[in-house]
A and B are shown apart, each in its own frame.
Chain A
Amino acid sequence: MTRRRLAAATAFLAVVALAALAPFLLGPYLVGVALDLLMWIALAESWILLSGMTGYISLGHAVFFGTGGYVMVLAWGVLPFWLVVPLGGLVAGLLALAIGYPCLRVRGPYFVILTFGVAEFAKFVVVAIEAGLGKAGRLMFGAPSLDELYFVMLALAAAAFVIADCVRRSRFGAGLRAIREDEDAAETIGVPTTRFKILAYTLSAIIPGMVGTVMVLRSTYFEPLQVFDPLISFTIVTMAIIGGSDGAPGPLMGAVFLVSLSELLWANLPEVYMILLGALLVGFVLGAPDGIHGWIRARLARRGA
């Protein structure tokens, strides 16, 4: 077991090292695609901390991405880049704490609807603030180069993966999964359910906040309707469902799969991409509810037995 973990850790480091070579080997277009991929990996890995482990589906994770982006917009030119990235994570985490405290008291579909509602609410608050300030979209001058942003995003994606993996294996993660199985039984055997849910939600918001700070510089343009776009939330959920959300490998597989698919189809056949996406989602929910990762794991287990 430990030997297998050592092998897995080595493979992980090798992949990260290989990814770090991308800016030296690839042209700017492909580095941009790789940056997008890393962004989705970081977002989806963070999302499973609450929603994969406990089954409390957050349909509004764009709010943390957007908040991070807005922090960068407000702090740009005032604070140095390297300071604003963690600051964006901190603000997103505090926002999750404030949202989670009331919202995580409701269960099931009500929680899902609440997260979506809160994200839309936050979006229009930012729109209103920007309108009040007389701004209609902002240009961000002097952003770091694509390569620099790429390295920051690689670090965030790697960190999100490691956090998800550690939580999945930890005592904390076992408590979260007990909540998913049966929340009443979990709290009756001593799992502090409310505290754990709020902690997982907060933890799941921090990296998306940091990702938002980076991506707003990548687009060099800030438009609230764009960074708070609900499609970001939906895409995260889709990746986690297709890849599997009960462990770190799932979201990684889902992100790689969907980003590749969109690269192949988006430019030439955008309608086909959306149709295929819908069909895939239905197919996975019905046929492989544990995603690609869950399906592979089940096959391996069957072969072992």
Chain B
Amino acid sequence: MNLLELDAIEKRFGGVVAVQALSFAVATGEIVGIMGVNGAGKTTVFSLVAGNQRPSAGAIHFDGRRIDGLRPDAINRRGIARTFQIVRPFSGMSVVENVAIGAMYGAGRERSPSAATARARAILDEVGLADRAGDRAGALTLAGRKRLEIARALATAPRLLMLDEVLAGLTPVEVDEALAMLLALKRRHGLTLLVIEHVMRALMRLCERIIVLHHGEKIAEGAPDAVAADRRVIDAYLGEPAP
């Protein structure tokens, strides 16, 4: 059963076409990767699904119901959460407060602030930030803030979690740890994952299926090995061969 379906989605900014005739589906429990060079439209796809931007044309269905045109908070309440590539912590608040607010709203909607804080602490434990709970979010390192992005999104109790370059800038050892953490989170929270990543090796290991975007269009889709061998994907990354 498909959890997420994009049908002929298009996004124009004035005369610039950011996403064009994009259709794909994500099944419940799947891990799907999105890759493409800078400016290919990957983050725009996340913004369209999460409601931060509205598609110019096409339809998006989540769990069988149409969600395009809804406000971001309404989409989040239905069970879609995202992280931001350029992290956006609530810098003036503590780490645990950041996550507790996610637990108070979203699909989980914990009514009492103390219950939300308890759930936030449990999630911080899972992402390895438990010892930083009382610190100001702005004081975390970039790697820490990326984990906070994941924790805050996870606190909203999503069914679909969209991760935007959460591995970028990590060392190979940290990437291994982060991959193990993501798989553990997926299993424990029953998540479906949609992952944008530049770290190719990581994406290949994590995903069952990869979608490749180029100039806002889907140029390939399939198993990691097949995508990596695809002529058009190689051309998109390395440029067209000289005539």
A interface residue numbers (CB < 8 A to B)? 169-171, 174-175, 177-178, 180-182, 184-194
Contacts and interface: CB of A to CB of B under 8 A. Distances in A.
B93 interface: yes
B209 to A, nearest CB: 25
Interface stretch (B11-19, B82-90, B173-181, B185-193): B82-90
B107 interface: yes
Interface string B25-56: 00000000000000000000000001010000
A76 B88 CA distance: 53
Nearest to B111: A171
Given A174-B113, A177-B93, A178-B90, A188 B101 contact: no
Contacts of B166: none
Nearest to A290: B92
A193 B107 CA distance: 16
B92 A191 contact: no
Given A174-B101, A175-B104, A192-B74, 18 more contacts: A171-B112, A171-B116, A174-B97, A175-B105, A181-B91, A181-B92, A182-B89, A184-B52, A185-B89, A188-B81, A188-B82, A188-B84, A189-B81, A189-B101, A190-B106, A191-B73, A191-B105, A192-B105
Contacts of B52: 184, 188
Contacts of A171: 104, 111-113, 116
B77 interface: yes
A185 B84 contact: yes
B92 to A, nearest CB: 6
A294 to B, nearest CB: 11
Contacts of A170: 113
Given A181-B90, A181-B92, A189 B100 contact: no
A184 B73 CA distance: 10
A194 B77 CA distance: 15
A190 B88 contact: no
Nearest to B78: A190
Interface residues of B, number: 34
A297 to B, nearest CB: 13
B224 interface: no
B153 A189 contact: yes
Nearest to A193: B73
B66 interface: no
Contact of B93 (A181, A191, A192): A181
Given A170-B113, A189-B153, A191-B101, A182 B90 contact: yes
Contacts of A187: 71-73, 76
A143 B93 CA distance: 48
26 contacts: A171-B111, A171-B113, A174-B101, A174-B104, A174-B113, A175-B105, A177-B90, A177-B93, A178-B101, A181-B91, A181-B93, A182-B88, A182-B90, A184-B72, A185-B84, A185-B88, A185-B90, A187-B71, A188-B73, A188-B81, A189-B105, A189-B106, A189-B152, A189-B153, A192-B73, A192-B105
Contacts of B107: 190
Nearest to B106: A190
Contacts of B106: 189-190
B50 A188 contact: yes
A75 B180 CA distance: 70
Contacts of B84: 185, 188
Nearest to B105: A190
B189 to A, nearest CB: 15
Contacts of B88: 182, 184-185
A101 to B, nearest CB: 15
Nearest to B82: A188
Nearest to A171: B104
A95 to B, nearest CB: 25
